[in-house]
Amino acid sequence: MSAPSALAAPALSAPALSASASDEFNRCGYHPKGATHLRTGPGKKYASIGMLYPDDDLHADKKKNGWYRVQVSGKSQSGLKANTRGWVAKSQLKRHICTILH
């Protein structure tokens, strides 16, 4: 005997990204290719928030004029706090490679 489907509780999940947003950015994140500035806006004319280095883990969520808005996944090597957001030139980033199991 099974319970009526109308009584089933909805599954809880994180909000889904739009297809374009989830496909556009690397799910596994990015690393800077070398020492680079995290900036307040998408361009060199914007102030530097701090430095990023190759071992820093970043996730992107927006792009504008060849720049990605990124969020630092953990405390950066230069001391930026986890979740700090700023902009980095796309040319300064390399995709982090990971394995996604289904």
Q: Report the alpha-carbon distance of residue 75 to residue 63 in Å, rounded.
A: 23
Instruction: Find, among 66, 77, 70, the residue nearest to 39 by Cα.
Output: 70
Using H for helix, E for strand and C for coil, what is the string for 3-15?
A: CCHHHCCCCCCCC
Structural domain spans, the chain: 27-95
Question: Which pLDDT score, from 0 to 100, does residue 98 have?
Answer: 75
Pick 27-95's CATH classification: 3.40.630.10, 2.40.50.140, 3.40.50.920, 2.30.30.40. Answer: 2.30.30.40
Tens-place pLDDT, residues 30-88: 999 999 999 999 999 999 999 999 999 999 999 999 999 999 999 999 999 999 999 99
DSSP 26: -
* Contact yes or no for 78/51 (Cβ under 8 A): yes
List, edge to edge, every strand of the sheet that includes 58-64: 48-52, 36-39, 85-89, 67-72, 58-64, 30-32, 93-95
Confidence of residue 6 (pLDDT cuts 50, 70, 90): very low
Per the listing, tokens 């199991």 go with: 101
